[in-house]
Amino acid sequence: MTITVGHDTSKTRKTLTVGDQSVAYYSIPAATEAGLGDFSKLPAALKVVLENMLRFEDGKTVSVDDIKAFAEWATLGGKNPREIAYRPARVLMQDFTGVPAVVDLAAMRDGIVALGGDPEKINPLNPVDLVIDHSVMIDEFGNPRAFQMNVDREYERNLERYTFLKWGQKAFNNFRVVPPGTGICHQVNLEYLSQTVWTDTDQNGEMVAYPDTLVGTDSHTTMVNGAAVLGWGVGGIEAEAAMLGQPISMLIPEVVGFKLTGEMIEGTTGTDLVLKVVEMLREKGVVGKFVEFYGPGLDKLPLADRATIANMAPEYGATCGFFPIDNETLRYLRNTGRDEARIALVEAYAKENGFWRDAGYDPVYTDTLELDMGTIVPAISGPKRPQDYVALTAAASSFEKVVADFRGIDITEDAKDMLDEGPAATKTVPLHKTAKVEGEDYDLRDGSVVIASITSCTNTSNPYVMIGAGLVARKAAALGLTRKPWVKTSLAPGSQVVSAYLEAAGLQEDLDKVGFNLVGYGCTTCIGNSGPLQPEISKAINENDLIATSVLSGNRNFEGRISPDVRANYLASPPLVVAYALAGDMNIDLATEPLAQTPDGKDVYLKDIWPTTQEVAELVEQTVTREAFQSKYADVFKGDEKWQSVETTDEKTYDWPPSSTYVQNPPYFQGITMDTKKIENIDGARVLALLGDMITTDHISPAGSFKETTPAGRYLTERQVSPREFNSYGSRRGNHEVMMRGTFANIRIKNEMLDGVEGGYTKGPDGEQTSIYDAAMAYQDQGTPLVIFGGEQYGAGSSRDWAAKGTALLGVKAVIAESFERIHRSNLVGMGVIPFEFTGGDTRKSLGLTGQETVAIHGLEGVTPLAEVPCTITYEDGTTKEITLKCRIDTAVEIEYIENGGVLHYVLRNLAKSA
């Protein structure tokens, strides 16, 4: 493809010769020589953004003052929140978020035709790769046929979606699809798609080198920052705008430096390290900021571990966690099969343009913190949030408090009451419930591990922890151990390369012996596609209110995400996932107690089956080869026979099947005209939901399964879809009718308008309890606008555009919270919903809100970015209170988005004008 750069006669444009290739590039040192400022002390992550400004400087979208602002950033101590227009090189998607994005593009083609334009105008201008990885579900496990049976069911469930995506691949330029069964998008991106330094021809036909950058429709796009590729997650709405040539409006970010020293000690893993990093950075507070890792510890940190840390940037709240280019970056590029000429270019470009990390690398940061990696110990995180760090030595003892918290019991007070009763009283409250499993010779209890899953790009991209898991399985199998019979075990690697090296090491056979058979290549349990538990186990859990647990090597453990049967979810390294499958119980102290017994009754401890660092390193060296990567990625876009047999049309606009329950033409652009309207005040709004802290996008728009009694289930049942064919919310994101009904429908969400009720319920206009969807439709019928109230970190988690789309389609005009996570705030604006933050210490609690209030927000006509506006709350008894809200429309262009009804409407009208 061709990139359109700014002034190609700029003083900053230079030529770099590497071997027999010469490329143009935009030089940061030359910008200093040209008098634009001293950029030498900028962090590498920020230099990537600066280079973007140099390349696209045109005096309009990007000005010389924008470039000078980066020099001021360094002199001002790492702060200068100037609005800039940033253009990433490419876009990455997965199928859950990709299907609705392609649906939107198809709908925009219909929309531009309605405005008298050419449908060919709706085409990605930047390269887009969509990897199908979120759809495989674990129906079958623990046997050799699991992989093929799960793949077969995947195609049965998702053929409509796959046909649609294949149409998109034909219909749109610059759009490629990586078929099912290949791997997870972030791992495919890290191992194959990314180049660290990108090259393309400009409008004059000259080859230009520049940093590889991207945005992705998945929050864990950040993983590739481990290879010095600047990328982060955005909602599908923002990604579509970027595809269509719209720059991303952002403020020059603050950059927090995280200094790593020392080296990892025996018995610890990259997972243990990242769980500590997540805890530290959440405590520090880095939402909306870049984090850059530096320090001598990087010399001892493999890129696989760096990618694990970068992957979990959404969990610690940062926009990204960046690692500069150094010798380890080059080693990884070479080992994963990149072209030698590309590797030479990466090294030369990084050294020439100031991106290289050496011993003297010491930039200015906004703030810093430090960690000695020698202090890291084995750990897990849970039961509800990635930042809930628990050292392995405290995991079992802390679980009693977890059970107490779930049941609303104060252990200290209740235990004291029991002790006061006399000498027969025990020292602790007997919290744990047990239950017999029908037809089985075992009981379950609170803490029984019913899911143990090696899953997710976070860890399956890391050969050190995967080989480690295989060695734990080998040592366990040699002692005659296997998973406990109530544990649903699964192995879902992030790429086929993982299977190649596990097989080369002979470890897949050992994993099979303890129950970790291959179930598919995809996100599986991490995204909530854990599949059903054995019916008798599910029944025992639910009828006896057991607090069952899962242990997974993923990045998310939010409530209601992993399985509807599991309340407590823990993140752990792959070797620990195997260990917990053998133990089968969170109450067992793996640090000191036997985790199992051999067939002849001998106790086996974790230390007996844990591999040494040297054992792991030697097998990684032997089996993780350049040839394996080149072989597995040789035909990455070809797919298997099933994919090749999917038939589609060559039409440029999509023929929406009216009977489809997967793909429907969304209502966003129907009846669109060229007219826009000014932002209006909000009057007479009612409260749809009153929500607490850390309401995640999983709470707002769940991805997992749902029942026939839900609004979404009723919708499908009315269309003769049986519950067995419901699939998941995530797979239905191409159908707005399902997704509207699934908004705020997480089974664990708590609306504070109701007492002790879990799930997607509220009070309707008549004051009676009903589903949030039904209440919203009733209010829409009355013409009543709606608002949502929330607490801190509203919208944390996945870059799930349906969390904003569903909110908008329910008729919500404003979300008022104490603070917002970055992506969801942007998504709300992109859908025309205005985010507001409380000021002056006000909260929903301090205001005594019950959800029965009426809300008016004025000062919106002619509002400016980040303005403070008055809000009047009228209570149920007629009294009123005036408060001040901060309008989180952060930039000038976002005001235009709201005036247009959303960012896609803005882009569509501009494309129609240009035509």
At residue 9, the pLDDT reads 55
* 708 and 785 assigned to the same domain: no
- Say how far residue 782 (Cα) sits from the centre of its chain: 37
Highest-scoring range by mean pLDDT, 24-28, 136-140, 798-802, 899-903: 24-28
* 234 and 114 assigned to the same domain: yes
According to DSSP, the residues that pair with 250 across neighbouring strands are 84
Domain boundary among 350, 375, 400: 375
528 within a domain of the structure (yes/no):
yes
* 188 and 140 assigned to the same domain: yes
* 402 and 494 assigned to the same domain: yes
654 within a domain of the structure (yes/no):
no
**SS3 labels along 584-646:** CECCCCCCCCCCEECCCCCEECHHHHCCCHHHHHHHHHHHCCHHHHHHHCCCCCCCCHHHHCC
Find tokens 């186990």 and name the residue. 537
Query: Once rounded to an integer, what is the mean pLDDT over residues 228-232?
Result: 97
If one compares 365 and 826, the residue with the highest pLDDT of the two is: 365
* 763 and 622 assigned to the same domain: no
639 within a domain of the structure (yes/no):
no
Domain boundary among 614, 631, 648: 631
640 within a domain of the structure (yes/no):
no
Range of the domain at 48: 2-86
What digits encode the pLDDT tens for the residues 455-465?
988 888 899 99
Number of structural domains found in the chain: 5
pTM of the model: 0.85
Query: Once rounded to an integer, what is the mean pLDDT over residues 758-766?
Result: 96
For 697, the enclosing helix (H) or strand (E) is helix 697-700
Task: Kindly tell me if the per-residue pLDDT of 726 is higher than 60.
Answer: yes
Task: Kindly tell me if the per-residue pLDDT of 897 is higher than 90.
Answer: yes
Task: Kindly tell me if the per-residue pLDDT of 419 is higher than 50.
Answer: no
Find tokens 């744990």 and name the residue. 432
Count CA atoms closer than 13 A to 96's CA, side-chain side. 33
At residue 672, the pLDDT reads 87
* 822 and 886 assigned to the same domain: yes
What digits encode the pLDDT tens for the residues 439-451?
999 999 999 999 9
536 within a domain of the structure (yes/no):
yes
Residue 635 near residue 642 (C-beta atoms within 8 A): no
* 730 and 818 assigned to the same domain: no
What digits encode the pLDDT tens for the residues 668-685?
888 889 999 899 999 999
Percent of the chain with pLDDT over 90: 77
At residue 8, the pLDDT reads 53
At residue 427, the pLDDT reads 42
Please name which of 319, 318, 231 lies closest in space to residue 281, comparing C-alpha atoms: 318
Q: Determine the Cα–Cα distance for residues 240 and 910; give it in Å rounded to an integer.
A: 14
* 758 and 880 assigned to the same domain: yes
Residue 18 near residue 49 (C-beta atoms within 8 A): no
Task: Kindly tell me if the per-residue pLDDT of 892 is higher than 60.
Answer: yes
What φ, ψ does residue 23 adopt, rounded to 5°?
-135, 150
If one compares 263 and 756, the residue with the highest pLDDT of the two is: 263
221 within a domain of the structure (yes/no):
yes
What φ, ψ does residue 64 adopt, rounded to 5°?
-60, -35
Q: pLDDT band at 413, cuts 50/70/90?
A: low
At residue 414, the pLDDT reads 55
Q: Determine the Cα–Cα distance for residues 221 and 239; give it in Å rounded to an integer.
A: 12
29 within a domain of the structure (yes/no):
yes
* 306 and 251 assigned to the same domain: yes
Which CATH number do you get for residue 475? 3.30.499.10
Q: Determine the Cα–Cα distance for residues 551 and 549; give it in Å rounded to an integer.
A: 7
Domain boundary among 86, 112, 133: 86
What does the block give as tokens for 200?
């393309």
What digits encode the pLDDT tens for the residues 701-717?
998 889 999 999 999 99
Task: Kindly tell me if the per-residue pLDDT of 561 is higher than 90.
Answer: no
641 within a domain of the structure (yes/no):
no
At residue 262, the pLDDT reads 97
Q: Determine the Cα–Cα distance for residues 368 and 371; give it in Å rounded to an integer.
A: 10
At residue 383, the pLDDT reads 95
- Helices 822-830 & 892-900 angle (0-180, nearest 10): 50
If one compares 778 and 648, the residue with the highest pLDDT of the two is: 778
At residue 429, the pLDDT reads 46
Task: Kindly tell me if the per-residue pLDDT of 412 is higher than 90.
Answer: no
Task: Kindly tell me if the per-residue pLDDT of 417 is higher than 80.
Answer: no
At residue 432, the pLDDT reads 81
* 265 and 201 assigned to the same domain: yes
What digits encode the pLDDT tens for the residues 314-371?
999 999 999 999 999 999 999 999 999 999 999 999 999 999 999 999 999 999 999 9
Count CA atoms closer than 13 A to 289's CA, side-chain side. 22
* 476 and 384 assigned to the same domain: yes
* 67 and 98 assigned to the same domain: no
Residue 475 near residue 167 (C-beta atoms within 8 A): no
Average pLDDT, the chain: 92
